[in-house]
Amino acid sequence: MLKKTVEDALNKQFNAELYSSYLYLAMAAYFESVPLRGFARWMRIQSKEELAHGMKIYDYIIEQQGSPKFPVIEAPKTPWKSAGAVFEHSYAHEQKVTGMINSLMDLAVKEKDYATQNFLGWFVKEQVEEEANASEILAQITMMGDKPGILFHLDHIIGKRE
Ligand SMILES: [Fe+2]
Ligand SMILES: [Fe+2]
């Protein structure tokens, strides 16, 4: 059973993960329009992963006899000016999400909710990977320059994401 404070905070994170999914899908659509299909594919897979993060929280809330909430999902701010701008946004977004997960963990510690602390451990680890992925691609684009020839080459590599 969850304390009300923890349940509310988990519901906020559930919504934030759905927003992340929505954001990455908007980024996928941007890349489809360029068109850079490899980047679009990467973003589409990322969007699915974020939905899976949301569902992990949804399942946990139910398992703990709470109720998932469904407020409005914020609209992503589109469009972007360049591939580099998309990955700058993505990296900044992941850093923000890491901060949110850390605050959730702080709350679970404060409330002595050991089950939720254990549950959140997966997200703490996942955020390290999420930040690393976004920052690596951003660094590659920044290093090589946001130019068509380079982007088509990167598009080919990044589009191999499983
Ligand atoms: Fe996520
Ligand atoms: Fe993420």
Q: Considering every ligand atom shown, identify the ligand nearest to the alpha carbon of residue 134 and give its number.
A: 2
Task: Read off the pLDDT band of 147 (50, 70, 90).
Answer: confident
Task: Read off the pLDDT band of 144 (50, 70, 90).
Answer: confident
Quick one: tokens of 134? 């976004």
Mean pLDDT of 15-28: 98
Beta carbons of 103 and 160 less than 8 angstroms apart: no
Can you list the domains of the chain with their CATH numbers?
A: 4-158 (1.20.1260.10)
CA of 53 to the centre of ligand 1 (A): 5
Q: Considering every ligand atom shown, identify the ligand nearest to the alpha carbon of residue 57 and give its number.
A: 1
Q: Considering every ligand atom shown, identify the ligand nearest to the alpha carbon of residue 90 and give its number.
A: 2
pLDDT tens-digit map of 31-54: 999 999 999 999 999 999 999 999
The per-residue pLDDT for 50 is: 98
CA of 3 to the centre of ligand 1 (A): 23
Is the pLDDT confidence value at 156 over 90? Answer: yes
Give dist(CA 74, CA 111) in Å, integer. Answer: 29
Beta carbons of 113 and 6 less than 8 angstroms apart: yes
pLDDT tens-digit map of 50-107: 999 999 999 999 999 999 999 999 999 999 999 999 999 999 999 999 999 999 999 9
Task: Read off the pLDDT band of 161 (50, 70, 90).
Answer: confident
Residue 111 CA neighbour count, 13 Å, CB half: 20
Give dist(CA 108, CA 25) in Å, integer. Answer: 31
Beta carbons of 126 and 98 less than 8 angstroms apart: no
CA of 159 to the centre of ligand 2 (A): 18
pLDDT tens-digit map of 100-130: 999 999 999 999 999 999 999 999 999 999 9
